[in-house]
Amino acid sequence: MPQSRLGISEADEPHDTFLENALAKARHASRATGLPALADDSGLSVDALGGAPGVHSAYYAGREGDREERDRRNNGKLLANLSDSRSAHYVCVHVLVKNAKTGIRSSPKVCGTARLHARLAAANGFGYDPLFLVRELGKTAAELDPVHKNRISHRGIALQKLVALLNESRRR
């Protein structure tokens, strides 16, 4: 259940790593409810930009406006900052805490290429998806069928890995 339905405010994300931000969010929700909590932090990392936008992906071009406006500005800033080197990957860290002190985490990375131009036909996805080319498929993340995208995305892979870790810990 989303924490907003439980009346829990969003946690601050002041940290420099995806892991620290995900852990802060999970602990915040666990403290507020006394229950286990699952949280993630994710973003786009562009090699030529030293890993930027990274943990600042959602607000790379500022916090003003709604999500759609921020996505447009973020993509514009990314395109303006890209050079010939367009190697990029999505990162997602999931953290499941049993309480505010203990937890299990997964942190996969999905490689791809940040494209120089958004494809106009890209109807699915959000954020940097219209720019993110999945090389093996020759399509941007926004061009993928949502079910397929969720199966191969950084979030989907992170969740699959977390489930595997949970199953492994139960067998011990």
Neighbouring C-beta atoms of residue 49, cutoff 10 Å: 18
Of the pLDDT bands very low, low, confident and very high (cuts 50, 70, 90), residue 122 is: low
Catalytic (active-site) positions? 41
* 26-40: average pLDDT: 90
CA dist 103 and 21 (Å) reads 14
Q: Where are the domains of the chain?
A: 3-171
Q: What is the pLDDT of residue 55?
A: 95
What is the mean pLDDT of the segment spanning 105-111?
A: 67
Alpha carbon distance 152, 129 (integer Å)? 13
Q: Which two tokens stand for residue 88?
A: 């990029």
Are residues 25 and 13 in contact, defined by beta-carbon separation less than 8 angstroms? yes
| Rounded-to-integer distance, Cα 21 and Cα 16, Å | 8
Say what percent of the chain tops pLDDT 70: 84
> pLDDT band at residue 3, thresholds of 50, 70 and 90?
confident
pLDDT recorded at residue 148: 85
Query: Quick one: fold of 3-171?
Result: Maf protein (3.90.950)
pLDDT of amino acid 54: 95
Q: What number is the average pLDDT over the span 95-100?
A: 80
